[in-house]
Amino acid sequence: MTELFEVRQALEGQAARLAARRRDVSVFVGLQRQFQDVEALLADKHRYYELVGELDATIDHAVGNPTLVATLNGVRTHVTRIRRLAQDDPARLRDAAQEHVQIIDAIVDGEESLAAHATQLHLHRSLRYILKSLERNVP
CA dihedral 14, 15, 17, 19 (to 10 degrees): 160
The DSSP letter of residue 88 is P
Confidence band (pLDDT; 50, 70, 90) for 75? Answer: very high
Confidence grade of residue 87 (pLDDT, cut at 50, 70, 90) = low
Query: Residue 102 above 90 pLDDT?
Result: yes
Average pLDDT over all residues of the chain: 92
Mean per-residue pLDDT, 17-23: 98
Reported as a pLDDT band with limits 50, 70 and 90, residue 136 is confident
Residue 6 confidence (pLDDT) above 80: yes
